[in-house]
Amino acid sequence: MKLPIDTGLLSGRVLVLACVILLPFLRFLVRNDYRLWAPESLAAASVLLVVCVALSALARERIVFLCLVALCSVLMATVPALRLLAGVVELTLEQTALVLGVALALLIALLRENFAMLVAVFTLSAFAVDLGQALMEELRRSPPAVRGASTGPLPHVLYLILDEHIGVNGFPEAFAACGNARRKVEQTFAKWGFRTYPNAYSNYPSTVSSLSSVLNRRLLERRRTLLDENSQEWRWGTRTLRQNRLLETFSRRGYRVEVFQHRAMNHVADGLKADAVHEYWDALNALDQAPGSRLWRFRWLIGNYQQSDLVMSRVRAFFPFRFAPHTTGPLSAAAVWPAKLFDQMMRASRKAIFFAHVFLPHFPYLYRKDGSVRDLEEWSRDRIDQRANESLYRERYQRYCEQAEFLSGQLDRLFARMDQAGFFDSTRIVVHGDHGSRIRRSLGPGTRGEQPTGSDPEGYDYRSAPPLRDLLDRFSTLLAVKAPGADQPETVRGRGSLLRFLSEALPLDGQPDPGPDTDFVYLFEHGDRPRRIPILDYWKEKDGQYGHPN
């Protein structure tokens, strides 16, 4: 029987390898809503096609070629197969690859030349399914009509977490953009009658540690204490809370629970019923909002594709070069913030808590204060796992503070829309960060400075007493609270932890006394044990030199 695909011909071998090597990249683009016909997409696809031609020319013997196809299939399919089997059997990457390799070897022995046809049909069918799903999703994207709440003003709760938002008195005044941002933050919350805590600080300098602690009103005995490390999502990069006392409390009080979150952190703990969950993630189509050269978009596409799969990252996804992955961060948050959040509040027909974790002013620092987006090349190198020299420290803070100023404008407009719709006054609003900016200076000679992996954001990396400015960069965090009916601003001048202040401003059912250890901040050392740092002692000793003593 003459096969439609003849692996004895170069063209037939190229077609089969393209199905195994090129189609997964095209599926990646489709799943990220990225245009297949964009110049950078076509350029990357052309590189992979050249790789397919080169490999096909080298593997002329049919049995050698079929073994090459099987090997490439194992590399591309190990992680998807591991995910597919996760709910049935727990396997390691190596075990999954071995199972796939044995299965494909048996298929080659049984099917011989027909094995190539099987691979081509299977991969082309999968690509067709992705295209069909993308088309159906596009057809469903007609914007729904917004209707006002039918029962009048409701006692809603709006709980906003603004990722990496430094506290009012944590902004370094030495930089003009930061002075402007600080004043904009103060003016926005004063205008809408909030009680602000300019000297609040988090107990931990990472999202997962800080939020798992604050939302459960307790300190951590070790790193990741309150995260579910046994969840299926853990190995794929999603951190799920073991418990969320905040949302549990409001659920018991009869509130509808509506959650807006980044896929990297799941706030809906096991056993907690959320009425609606709206997720966003670093989809590459967010790049449509950013200007930048085609070369940088090409680097973004390849770098993120190479890191999208643990096995593919080891073989560079068959590209002859490797690029670093990047995050769209704040651009991805636009999928839910602020328009979708407001729309969902408008739809509410009973009292609800709207819990939103927003990646702003989270790195990369790409928004100017007017909301325009900077060129890709300007912000694609932003990182949190490094210490910067003085010049880079200043440059990053300038952009960070412009982004924070833009965010304050978004908050102002959101509150104005809520007020115009008639439910701002009746809504209890809590706005806070999770930790500081984490833009940190090099600690001096002998440190690893600007090395990409030079500093664990949660690690204790001081050789002597920590500088207060460095503690503020890590721990100072925003906190503002508005009670229903409040119309006069108030400022709490005292210094204290986010955990202590929230325990007083928004007590939860069965909440323990926060205790004196709440006044310390913590970094982790050997064995993921927290090391206590008396931040208030440093603040007291150095008033007038760092931060804002009032």
CA distance 334 to 438: 23
CA distance 384 to 473: 11
- Please report, for residues 75, 227, 228, 248, the alpha-carbon distance to residue 86 in angstroms, rounded to integers and kept in the order given: 18, 19, 16, 28
**What pTM was computed for the model?**
0.90
Burial of 117 (0-12, 13-18, 19+ CB in 10 A): middle
Burial of 147 (0-12, 13-18, 19+ CB in 10 A): exposed
550 residues of the chain, pLDDT tens digit each: 445 677 788 998 999 999 999 999 999 999 888 999 999 999 999 999 999 999 999 999 989 999 999 999 999 888 888 888 877 777 888 888 898 889 988 988 888 878 888 888 888 888 888 788 877 776 765 454 444 444 567 899 999 999 999 999 999 989 999 999 999 999 999 999 999 999 999 999 999 999 999 999 999 999 989 988 877 777 778 899 999 999 999 999 999 999 999 999 999 988 888 999 999 999 898 998 999 999 999 999 999 999 988 888 999 999 999 999 999 999 999 999 999 999 999 999 899 999 999 999 999 999 999 999 999 999 998 988 888 899 999 999 999 999 999 999 999 999 999 999 999 999 999 999 999 999 999 887 644 444 444 567 888 988 888 999 999 999 999 999 999 999 899 999 999 999 999 999 999 988 888 888 999 999 998 878 999 999 999 988 665 444 443 3
CA distance 333 to 357: 9
Which amino acid would we find at residue 14?
Answer: V
Q: What's 215-279 look like in SS3?
A: CCCCCCCCCCCCECCCCCCHHHCCEEECCCHHHHHHHHCCCEEEEEEECCEECCCCCCCCCEEEE
CA distance 390 to 189: 32
Burial of 550 (0-12, 13-18, 19+ CB in 10 A): exposed
CA distance 281 to 261: 9
**Could you give all domains of the chain from N- to C-terminal order, each with its CATH number?**
10-139 (no CATH), 157-283+328-515 (3.40.720.10)
Q: Is 75 helix (H, G, I), strand (E, B) or coil?
A: helix
- Enter the tokens of residue 311: 């096995």
CB 482 within 8 A of CB 441: no
